[in-house]
Structure 1
Amino acid sequence: MKSTLLKLFFFFLFTSQIQAQELLPFVENYSKSDFQGDNQVWNVAQGKDNAMYFANNHYLLRYDGVMWEKYTLPNKTIIRSILIEDDKIYSGSYKEFGYWYRKDGKMHYVSITKNLRLFAEKDNEEIWKIFRFNGSLYFQSFNDVFIYNGKTIQKIKFSSLISYCFPVDKNLYVASVKDGIFKMNGKKIANPKGWGILKNTVVHAIEKYKDETYIFTQKKGVFVVQNNGLKPWDNPLNETLKSTTINVARFIKGNKLVIGTGNKGVFILDLKSNLFKNIDRNNVLMNNSILSIGFDKEDDLWLGLDNGIAHIEVNSPISIFYDNTGILGSVYSVANTKDGYLIASNHGIFEFGTGKFKMMPNTQGQGWNITKIGDKFIIGHNDGTFSYDNGSLTKISTVSGGWNLSKSTINNTYFQSTYSGILVYDDLSDLSKYKTIKGLTKPIKYVAQNKKNEIWAADNYRGLYHVLLDDNYNTKKVENVTQQSKIKNDFGIKIFEFRKEILFLINNSWYTYNSISNKLEKNELFNANFKNVSDVVAIDEDHFMVLQNGILYHIYASGNKFVWNIIQEKYYKGKLINENLRIFKNQNHYLLNLDDGFISLQLKYINKQHKTLRVEAFSEGTLVTDNSKIKFNKELKVNVISGIYGASKPNLFYKLNKSKDFVPISDGVILLNNLSSGYHSVVIYKHDGASYEKVADFDFKVAQPWYFSLWMILLYLIGIAGILFFYYKWNKLRYTQKLKLQAEELKHQREILEMELKTENELNIQEYEKHILELELQTKSSEVAGKSLSIAKQSEMIDNIQNILNTEKDFSKLKSEIKKAIKINEVNKHEWEIFETNLNQIHNEFIINLTKKFPNLTPKDIKLCVYLKMNLSSKEIAPMMNISFRGVELHRYRLRKKLDLTQDENLSKFLLSL
């Protein structure tokens, strides 16, 4: 009970608040951030070059469908009006009028009034309108009109303030704010009879349609001219227009009237049905104040707004249902009813009629699919399945998630794919009765049948199933044919019925089932014609739609040939609901669901893409002509201009230097960077989805890098010559220095040689002196030895004397002899000191080494060592040390201990080894 009350609350809330948007022409809005200009757009016209031109306050704007350009007058004044004739764009400004022409990719201005005194100093003249009448150009301000015949200018001054002049056939009407409408004949002006109602009224347009003249006033509505005066326009829209402030009005192709207002946007009236569409800020327009109206060669509408520009495709076969409120949500399915539309969205089921829509009770939540069976509409919903008939909604099934409903091609049975399997409706008189296919209780997205007792089912996630049934739809067998066919990537399979044949779209490839091999096989016809297709939706037996690389194509099948018809991406960019494209056919139209509404498109519409293109290339802001040259390492911007702004705009691709891949041209611009030097070619193709057709090309050359230019090569040559010259000079200098170094080296070598000779001489002298010293040393050694022998002999003599003493008896004689002998052989003390000194000099090195190794040796020990090194015997040593033989032996024994010698070691050999 609580849930039901809550649902009813939401139902009444939605129906009271929602105001539906009706089907409207597609509108492209351009804000100031797009064209980088000012606010008001006073005039709109299309040039002979197919570019659109706008009088935008201080700027003349130019838009060719690819690039916006803006230009200012030399005096920086506001541009109020433009008129285009041939290659000239005439403009009117404050005390100034002239024309623009295009050259080298830029607009250039020529003043007609320069140096002419046409305007009085006190006049505050602005040229608000330019028109041609009777072969002359008229430049009109609020006070005067200037007639220019190409050579001279005639000025006509009005007696009172006027709004605009209106040429109609051979008549020229002047609208005075105070005094009404005047008809101008030369310089004479007069009020037409019966037009007094227009006094104190601002007239903004006088237009002729089917031999009738219509006058559009600012606040009094529309009047029609009759023989005896004026009568109010007999149309229900007229009362609405009286409160809207009419700013501009035009009759256009297709029996339509366009009226731009100051506060309610634009009204587009179908004069046959008297039905109108109001496009304003409440639906899709940026601004409600319309200042100007223009047309392109496709007869589509351009609006100059108080803040921005709008392009409205009034003659496009495509209409859009906008939901700017977001209350409707994403539309998953839509169908035509007698009174309007039935819409299934993620918010619920909505009914549209008489300009409003309401949510059907108890349908909040996800709606999936709407299928028409007879006079009834079957609606698949998250909560089950509903039947809609003449405004009445009945729930026929509680099985949740009715994704799709498909009709068998062999009888009138319908199969519904749901979250939990497949339902069968085989009694159309009572749709509340249905059967369930057993053995396949999983989410099924698509179902199809073209043979009795078998159906095909595609899992919502992955897998394709072949289900065999008996006559009562009882399951006999379920086969996973993608597993049997060893297809690994079988996610998101689409089932497509084409002329009673069932095809399967699996991972962008087309398959059919071979009943003999019980496996899937690739379909040659569809794989050859529809490569890289990610989605497919059937319309009828001969029409279907494919999604290829993000672009929708309407396909018409004629035999085994397919006619492709592109649907421009701008109509649905970012608005397609992936994996849930659905189409509802209604006579010669079909409806396609979008994120924020839906599209209505004519079924027989053929997009005849124009082949004529213009290529403008720019580098560093300068126009680059065909077969010309650009600087190295500079960006080249190639603008591919079709001059088409509406539904027939071509789908373009390009190839650079005969590359294999076709590259899509985004927004009409090809940006080329990092190009190598040399010749390059850009070939542009029109693509209809089935084939590529060459429509234009552009050739250019990239110059050598600056470091390979003629001047740089000359500089290189000069540099190389300079380097060679300096190299020569340097080599010469180095050779001179080398000679100098060689001379210095020779001198140095000579000095070294002299020094070596000198050193050698000195060495020789030293060797000689050493030799002398050695001789002296030998001499001294001999002297030492001699002294030693002499001493030994003296000692021996003394011993003899001693013996004599011991043997001689005569004392006196003995005494005398002994004294005599002692005196004769007495050793001189001085000679002994010389002996010891010479001995030390000879054995100086030996003494030093001995002292270092054995520092505890006494001088006597050292002296004994020297005598022993001289290989003297103890007997010879005793007298030299003035001790007895026994004393020498005892000293030797003590010395051995000090030298740490063992008994086996020879003392003399040890000393000789030191």
Structure 2
Amino acid sequence: MKLLLRSVLLISFLLSSLFLYSEHEKPFIINYSKEIYNADNQNWSVSSDNNGILFFANNKGLLEFDGSNWFLHKMPEGGVLRSVFVDKKDRIYIGAYEEFGYWETNTNGEKKYYSLSSSLPKNTFHNDEIWKIDSLNGNIYFQSFSTIFKYDGQKINIIRPESPIVLLLKARNRLFIHVIGKGLYELKNDQLILLPGSEFLANDEIKFVLPYEDDSFLIGACENGILVYNNLTFSNWNAPIAKLILDSEINNGIQLKDNYVIGTITNGVFILGKNGILKHHLNASNFLQNNTVLSLHADSNNNLWIALDRGIDYVEMNSSLDFYIDPFYTIGAVYAAALDNKNLWIGTNKGLYKYVFDENEKNYIDPQLLNGTQGQVLSLNVIDNELLCGHTNGTYSVKEDKIVKISEVKGGYDFEKLNFNNEKILIQSTYSSLVAYKKDIKGWKFSHLIEGFIEPIPDIEQDNFGNIWASHLKKGVFKLQLNDRLDSVHNIKYFNKNQGFINDKEIHISKLENRIVFTNGGLIYTYDDLNDTIIPYHKINQKVEEQIKIKKIIPAKSNLYWFVKDNCISLCRNENENLEQVFSYDLSRQGLYLSTDYPKIIPLNDDCHLICLDNGFALFHFGSKVLSATREKLLMRKVIITNDKGLSKHLPLKSFKEGLLVPFSFRNIQFTFSSTEMSEQPIYRYMLKGLYNEYSLWSNESVVDYKRLPYGKYEFIVQSKTIENIWIDPLIYSFEISPPFYESKLAFIFYILIIIFIIVVGAIILKRRLKKHKVKVEKREQEKREREVLKTQQEYMDLKNKSLQTELYYKNVQLANYAIITGNKNDLLIKIKNNIRKQKNEIKNHIPESFLKKQINLLDQHISNEDEWKTFEGYFDQIHQDFFKKLITQYPDLTQSDLKLCAYLRLNLSSKEIAPLLNISIRGVEARRYRLRKRLNFEHDKNLVEFLLKF
């Protein structure tokens, strides 16, 4: 029975705690899983540098986050990191198994590890791990379970307690150490001093020591719970939630401004005020990725980082969003809200609830259902200081926590305020018709139904022409024109997919800069009054291309608008149809969902908007980020230059006034930058001055590449701003890409020298060429003259030869004629001799015979006169240049008769002409010719005359 009673009490206590928890707002939380940061699940320790960059001791190495980019730095020999600590000079100390040391960042942003433990004597640090690192008075302390290593920047001093130790804990510039089996000690001047009265903690585990009121300390112990130490005695901290925290297994704790954050093994994180009142309880059932908290860290903006056994969570304590989540759906899904005299009225599917504002806790607590409002609340509006509640049962006026029904028409939806003849009139859409209200001295009263239109209408808007636009609950949209008395609709036009929409369903109406717009099928439309039709709003659609499937647009304030898509809400600024996103939040990432197909974000006042959820609501505060945003800064994280071969180099993260000089071959450059604005996905725009003189569109992109830049001077400028349009100081990086060598100053000097060299060499060459040309011309002229002389001589010789040939020809002719004449003469003499011989017998008696013989001998002498032959031979040799000599030399067997025959044949004389010359018959000539051929060894087919002519 006692066990049952205890169980009931425990369950009642937990439920009451959870109910208390459900009444408080929940901070803005971002979950970072290992898939996001690309390392291991477990993160054992967290620290941050002066720029707000976070460092985590991860199982895979040192994990770094700058707000936009994650970087993993692995240890030289690998291994799990157990601790990390960043000192005031931004040196990053780490601890691991049998290893500790530090990482340093050079001017190029590259990190290098330096081991300290490697300088220790052998076996000094063996089979142990560094679990905590902290600093005091310029010294760095590395704590393992057995040893404390003190590093003063030069040498390492070793402090060994008598027994194993749990954690090194720092508070109020004092170092505390829990020695197992002994108690709680303070480390002073390298000596361990036991705190009097702490012996009862000997077998406990101290997980945190934090500053408390006055000079006291808040101590978290695994078995004794949370204690207060006033430097003399220990006492229990009387916090209402202390027992639940103890049962959740305390693991760590930190102070966060005026709050205390306690991490547990089994139940996530508890955030308490100084009085011990629970402000937030975050665990895996609502926001955290895991219930096991390995480490806690408060950043420079007093926001919370939680290193978990499974991932990393960021909790923004100064968030723009406060969540009021009802895990048990006590109040139901939220459909409407209104703020009236600091009381927050929430309309849900269960009724109308009133939240009161707690001045101490600065939040809304204690929701109470207003009696008589059970059922669905469809709308809440404060109009002329009167709260009107649209309900499924009708419409109520709420005054002094009491309701008065002012309309029996079911399903009171939206209100639109009109002025008619200086009289204020409200038009309300409902399940069935339009309802008119008028105001008297007591408030708003039902006036009349507007005839001529019966449709279920959730939203209405009035345009600049006085038309009433009404969206149907299920399909289409109507343009209504009321008569002058505002008691009936005299003109109705229906618009659906046939008039320009994608489909008939879920057409939402809104106003964008006083212009009626519609959302349908993920696109935005507007009304074309000239053609009385619906057209796509192209200028806006182009700007919201990333925000596909826009479900609804809700005016926020001034030129700010909420864009709703699925379960993601985005706050955008619209200036002259130039849309830019300034805030975005994916509710589904936290397991939250908008309440209906008609999502609502309701302005409670100028600085606070309420987002309706299906299990609670969220408050968005416009002014909550103003102070913290001024501390944010833009950081250059990497500047990498690459050549066309893929070789890359890191440049310094800070440029000089004159700029950095980049070689032309490395004209591919990549910039990685970040904003220390951790609470939201930062947005940037950038410009490379010198290439483009216009900024890019706003985006989340934090890595920018430029390829094959021309040479010249550049300024890379990055800008970022917060949701409240507060600009973070721009980041400017100046650099210059040197011209290629062929366009450098040295190259131009080289070109000038080359030109001078070319001119000099050219002049020399030209001079030589002119000289050579002159010599060549002179030689050519000389040769020409010589050729002319030769030509003249040749012509002379030709003429002489021609003359000689002519002369030879004529001499040949004369010689032939001479031979012919001689032959004719011989022929005549032979004929005379023959006639004498013939008449010898007839006249011998008359003429003495001796006389006749003498006459015949005389004729014979003249016929074969050797003198004539010699004369002929002389002439012939003269003309034919030693013809006989060459003939005898070549043919020595030739006789004198043969030579004569050859000479006559050479003169081309016929056998008939030759016979008288040889004093033989023609037949004798042929016989001699035959013998000559034989002596010359002539073949039968060869021409003897041709041979002799050519000889």
Give the alignment's TM-score, normalised by structure 2.
Answer: 0.58
In the alignment, the residues of structure 2 paired with residue 561 and residue 228 of structure 1 have an alpha-carbon distance, to the nearest angstrom, of 68
1:129-278 correspondence runs (5 A): 129-169=132-172, 171-211=174-214, 212-226=216-230, 228-253=232-257, 255-271=258-274, 274-278=277-281
Any idea what the Cα deviations from partners look like across 1:768-800, whole Å, max 9, x if unmatched?
xxxxxxxxxxxxxxxxxxxxxxxxxxxxxxxxx
**Distance verdict in 2 for CA 1:151–1:204, change over 3 Å:** same
- 1:380 is displaced (CA, Å) by 3.8
**Distance verdict in 2 for CA 1:75–1:612, change over 3 Å:** closer
- 1:654 is displaced (CA, Å) by 3.8
**Distance verdict in 2 for CA 1:77–1:419, change over 3 Å:** same
Residue 111 of structure 1 is matched in structure 2 by 115
Residue 652 of structure 1 is matched in structure 2 by 684
- Where 2:186 maps in the other structure, the secondary structure is strand
Residue 42 of structure 2 is matched in structure 1 by 40
**Distance verdict in 2 for CA 1:174–1:107, change over 3 Å:** same
The answer (yes or no) to whether the contact 1:536–1:544 under 8 Å persists in 2 is no
**Distance verdict in 2 for CA 1:497–1:412, change over 3 Å:** farther
**Which amino acid counterpart does residue 584 of structure 2 have in structure 1?**
E
The answer (yes or no) to whether the contact 2:563–2:572 under 8 Å persists in 1 is no
1:687-836 correspondence runs (5 A): 695-696=731-732
Any idea what the Cα deviations from partners look like across 1:43-74, whole Å, max 9, x if unmatched?
10112343210011341111222222223323
- Where 1:83 maps in the other structure, the secondary structure is strand
- 1:343 is displaced (CA, Å) by 4.8
Identity over aligned pairs, percent:
23
The answer (yes or no) to whether the contact 1:368–1:381 under 8 Å persists in 2 is yes
> For this pair of structures, how many residues does the alignment match?
659
In the alignment, the residues of structure 1 paired with residue 682 and residue 256 of structure 2 have an alpha-carbon distance, to the nearest angstrom, of 24
Residue 591 of structure 1 is matched in structure 2 by 610
In the alignment, the residues of structure 2 paired with residue 551 and residue 158 of structure 1 have an alpha-carbon distance, to the nearest angstrom, of 56
- 1:184 is displaced (CA, Å) by 3.0
Residue 65 of structure 1 is matched in structure 2 by 67
**Distance verdict in 2 for CA 1:611–1:94, change over 3 Å:** closer
**Distance verdict in 2 for CA 1:664–1:382, change over 3 Å:** farther
* 1:602 aligns to 2:621 (yes or no): yes
- 1:316 is displaced (CA, Å) by 1.8
- Where 1:285 maps in the other structure, the secondary structure is coil
Residue 488 of structure 2 is matched in structure 1 by 475
**Distance verdict in 2 for CA 1:466–1:544, change over 3 Å:** farther
The answer (yes or no) to whether the contact 1:685–1:696 under 8 Å persists in 2 is no
In the alignment, the residues of structure 1 paired with residue 175 and residue 330 of structure 2 have an alpha-carbon distance, to the nearest angstrom, of 52
- 1:437 is displaced (CA, Å) by 1.4
Any idea what the Cα deviations from partners look like across 1:563-614, whole Å, max 9, x if unmatched?
x997521365896788744314169633123577532122544554756342
Residue 697 of structure 2 is matched in structure 1 by 663
- Where 1:438 maps in the other structure, the secondary structure is strand
- Where 1:231 maps in the other structure, the secondary structure is strand
The answer (yes or no) to whether the contact 2:415–2:428 under 8 Å persists in 1 is yes
Residue 26 of structure 1 is matched in structure 2 by 28
Residue 947 of structure 2 is matched in structure 1 by none
Any idea what the Cα deviations from partners look like across 1:221-267, whole Å, max 9, x if unmatched?
222222541221132122322212111111112x1111111111101
**Distance verdict in 2 for CA 1:256–1:465, change over 3 Å:** same
- Where 1:114 maps in the other structure, the secondary structure is helix
- The correspondence for 1:612, drawn from 622, 627, 634, is 634
**Distance verdict in 2 for CA 1:667–1:476, change over 3 Å:** closer
**Which amino acid counterpart does residue 42 of structure 1 have in structure 2?**
W
In the alignment, the residues of structure 2 paired with residue 66 and residue 454 of structure 1 have an alpha-carbon distance, to the nearest angstrom, of 48
Any idea what the Cα deviations from partners look like across 1:427-472, whole Å, max 9, x if unmatched?
6869784521123434545446899x977444454454443443xx
Residue 764 of structure 2 is matched in structure 1 by none
The answer (yes or no) to whether the contact 2:161–2:192 under 8 Å persists in 1 is no
Any idea what the Cα deviations from partners look like across 1:126-184, whole Å, max 9, x if unmatched?
21111112331111112221111111111111011211223333533221232211233
Residue 642 of structure 1 is matched in structure 2 by 675
Range that drifts further, 400-409 or 677-686: 677-686
* 1:570 aligns to 2:572 (yes or no): no
Range that drifts further, 650-659 or 544-553: 544-553
- Where 2:452 maps in the other structure, the secondary structure is coil
Any idea what the Cα deviations from partners look like across 1:335-358, whole Å, max 9, x if unmatched?
46999966556x665758778899
The answer (yes or no) to whether the contact 1:83–1:131 under 8 Å persists in 2 is yes
In the alignment, the residues of structure 1 paired with residue 244 and residue 664 of structure 2 have an alpha-carbon distance, to the nearest angstrom, of 59
* 1:124 aligns to 2:127 (yes or no): yes
Residue 899 of structure 2 is matched in structure 1 by none
In the alignment, the residues of structure 1 paired with residue 176 and residue 726 of structure 2 have an alpha-carbon distance, to the nearest angstrom, of 54
- 1:425 is displaced (CA, Å) by 3.0
1:333-344 correspondence runs (5 A): 333-335=336-338, 343-344=346-347
In the alignment, the residues of structure 1 paired with residue 302 and residue 308 of structure 2 have an alpha-carbon distance, to the nearest angstrom, of 19
In the alignment, the residues of structure 1 paired with residue 732 and residue 184 of structure 2 have an alpha-carbon distance, to the nearest angstrom, of 52
**Distance verdict in 2 for CA 1:457–1:209, change over 3 Å:** same
- 1:116 is displaced (CA, Å) by 2.1
In the alignment, the residues of structure 2 paired with residue 317 and residue 383 of structure 1 have an alpha-carbon distance, to the nearest angstrom, of 36
In the alignment, the residues of structure 2 paired with residue 692 and residue 188 of structure 1 have an alpha-carbon distance, to the nearest angstrom, of 51
**Which amino acid counterpart does residue 114 of structure 2 have in structure 1?**
V
Give the alignment's TM-score, normalised by structure 1.
Answer: 0.60
In the alignment, the residues of structure 1 paired with residue 160 and residue 324 of structure 2 have an alpha-carbon distance, to the nearest angstrom, of 51
Range that drifts further, 649-658 or 87-96: 649-658
In the alignment, the residues of structure 2 paired with residue 688 and residue 157 of structure 1 have an alpha-carbon distance, to the nearest angstrom, of 50
- 1:477 is displaced (CA, Å) by 5.0
- Where 2:585 maps in the other structure, the secondary structure is helix
The answer (yes or no) to whether the contact 1:495–1:505 under 8 Å persists in 2 is yes
**Distance verdict in 2 for CA 1:113–1:393, change over 3 Å:** same
- Where 2:678 maps in the other structure, the secondary structure is coil
- The correspondence for 1:438, drawn from 451, 454, 458, is 451
Residue 748 of structure 2 is matched in structure 1 by none
In the alignment, the residues of structure 2 paired with residue 612 and residue 77 of structure 1 have an alpha-carbon distance, to the nearest angstrom, of 32
**Which amino acid counterpart does residue 601 of structure 1 have in structure 2?**
F
**Which amino acid counterpart does residue 451 of structure 2 have in structure 1?**
K
* 1:423 aligns to 2:445 (yes or no): no
The answer (yes or no) to whether the contact 1:35–1:68 under 8 Å persists in 2 is yes
**Distance verdict in 2 for CA 1:434–1:669, change over 3 Å:** farther
In the alignment, the residues of structure 2 paired with residue 110 and residue 425 of structure 1 have an alpha-carbon distance, to the nearest angstrom, of 78
In the alignment, the residues of structure 1 paired with residue 54 and residue 610 of structure 2 have an alpha-carbon distance, to the nearest angstrom, of 32
In the alignment, the residues of structure 1 paired with residue 268 and residue 611 of structure 2 have an alpha-carbon distance, to the nearest angstrom, of 27
In the alignment, the residues of structure 2 paired with residue 703 and residue 325 of structure 1 have an alpha-carbon distance, to the nearest angstrom, of 69
* 1:686 aligns to 2:720 (yes or no): yes
In the alignment, the residues of structure 1 paired with residue 395 and residue 708 of structure 2 have an alpha-carbon distance, to the nearest angstrom, of 61
The answer (yes or no) to whether the contact 2:438–2:445 under 8 Å persists in 1 is no
**Which amino acid counterpart does residue 272 of structure 2 have in structure 1?**
L
- 1:314 is displaced (CA, Å) by 1.1
**Distance verdict in 2 for CA 1:391–1:643, change over 3 Å:** same
In the alignment, the residues of structure 2 paired with residue 621 and residue 210 of structure 1 have an alpha-carbon distance, to the nearest angstrom, of 59
Any idea what the Cα deviations from partners look like across 1:827-876, whole Å, max 9, x if unmatched?
xxxxxxxxxxxxxxxxxxxxxxxxxxxxxxxxxxxxxxxxxxxxxxxxxx
**Which amino acid counterpart does residue 187 of structure 2 have in structure 1?**
M
- Where 1:474 maps in the other structure, the secondary structure is coil
Residue 834 of structure 2 is matched in structure 1 by none
**Which amino acid counterpart does residue 685 of structure 2 have in structure 1?**
F
Gaps of 5+ in 1: 1-14, 521-525, 705-914
The answer (yes or no) to whether the contact 1:97–1:111 under 8 Å persists in 2 is yes
The answer (yes or no) to whether the contact 2:23–2:366 under 8 Å persists in 1 is yes
In the alignment, the residues of structure 2 paired with residue 457 and residue 48 of structure 1 have an alpha-carbon distance, to the nearest angstrom, of 55
Residue 795 of structure 2 is matched in structure 1 by none
**Which amino acid counterpart does residue 639 of structure 1 have in structure 2?**
T
Any idea what the Cα deviations from partners look like across 1:95-136, whole Å, max 9, x if unmatched?
221100234444321001214216447x53221111112331
